[in-house]
Structure 1
């Protein structure tokens, strides 16, 4: 039974990514961060809020780590505990590339070696301690910080950034960290 579920969830992700990948080489449909210092953006970010997918709908203690390779690719590690703070770790490793090198805020993330999905850096504070990432369809978003803890007022302010852009947040989920 598990192989069937895995196949179905993989197929669902592929459909979602293909839907967005087909029309994503155009100009972004929303304002992006003005200028991203790519070296400062690299490193580990704690994911505090997200639009869950079938892969991470029960994510806890989630982190996203970016490393810029010599070839310009962004090696990404998305890691979280599945189902609870003591759940088994799951790890995904999409590879990113900067799509718009003028401001470095528009990336493409390659999943499963062949699907390119857009990744928009919508906001990053001047100290590179908090960020908001989105997607052209406005159905997927992430709130991240450099710390496993985030002030409630700050979290609400970052979520308001998504609301002001008309993101679909009915399923947006706060991610607990241990």
Structure 2
């Protein structure tokens, strides 16, 4: 991600935090999962769906890779293909840090310091096969999976729980991912 896109991302995160502070009062507090085992959460995640954001415009085959740093923070590497599955590769490198060590479910992420944005894990499969990342103002939302696809029944269950958390699931857009080959 070039400097101008990183700056735009940082400004959007800051603006999202500011605008959601006034809107948040009408909604109940966003609930996170009770606990996240960070070593199990690390690794590669495929984006299944998200609320569209300017900094992800045109992205397909989106993935996020998380790895633990020696200082306890987390390296973040987001990748996508622009406009099509064969499109130009794009990536953004950032850093995340836990802000609630009691649960490890509330993190902050930065792609352009000193700006940090909330990254809250609000739903998580007990086997860490899928996760849902949200924002306390409900401005951002990502459904992630360890595989490029997610069972439709699992997806519908996630949507139901998101609606219970007062997310407008009609805003979600499915992310185009490569279809796994049926080699055997």
- TM-score normalised by L of structure 2: 0.84
Alpha-carbon deviation of 1:163? 1.7
Note the 1:98-177 alignment, pairs <5 A: 98-177=98-177
Where do 5+ consecutive residues of structure 2 fail to align?
Answer: 22-27, 179-184
Give per-residue Cα distances to partners, 1:26-46, cap 9 Å, x unaligned: xx9311110100100000011
Q: How many residues align?
A: 170
1:56–1:82 contact (8 Å) kept in structure 2: no
Compute the RMSD of aligned alpha carbons: 2.3
Q: Does 1:16 align with 2:6?
A: no
In structure 2, how many angstroms separate the alpha carbons of the residues matched to 1:45 and 1:167? 22
Q: Does the residue aligned with 1:102 lie in a helix, a strand or coil?
A: coil
1:79–1:90 contact (8 Å) kept in structure 2: yes
Structure with the largest fraction of helix? 2
Give per-residue Cα distances to partners, 1:10-69, cap 9 Å, x unaligned: 665333211345698xxx931111010010000001110011211212221111110011
Note the 1:74-113 alignment, pairs <5 A: 74-113=74-113
C-alpha distance 10-169 of structure 1, shift in aligned 2 (>3 A): farther
In structure 2, how many angstroms separate the alpha carbons of the residues matched to 1:139 and 1:66? 22
- Structure 1 stretch 146-155 or stretch 116-125: which is displaced more? 146-155
In structure 2, how many angstroms separate the alpha carbons of the residues matched to 1:79 and 1:118? 20
Counterpart residue number, 1:63? 63
1:139–1:169 contact (8 Å) kept in structure 2: no
In structure 2, how many angstroms separate the alpha carbons of the residues matched to 1:21 and 1:141? 14
- TM-score normalised by L of structure 1: 0.86
Q: Does the residue aligned with 2:55 lie in a helix, a strand or coil?
A: coil
In structure 2, how many angstroms separate the alpha carbons of the residues matched to 1:169 and 1:153? 15
Where do 5+ consecutive residues of structure 1 fail to align?
Answer: none
Give per-residue Cα distances to partners, 1:91-129, cap 9 Å, x unaligned: 011200000000000001012121110000001111010
In structure 1, how many angstroms separate the alpha carbons of the residues matched to 2:103 and 2:135? 16
In structure 1, how many angstroms separate the alpha carbons of the residues matched to 2:54 and 2:69? 29
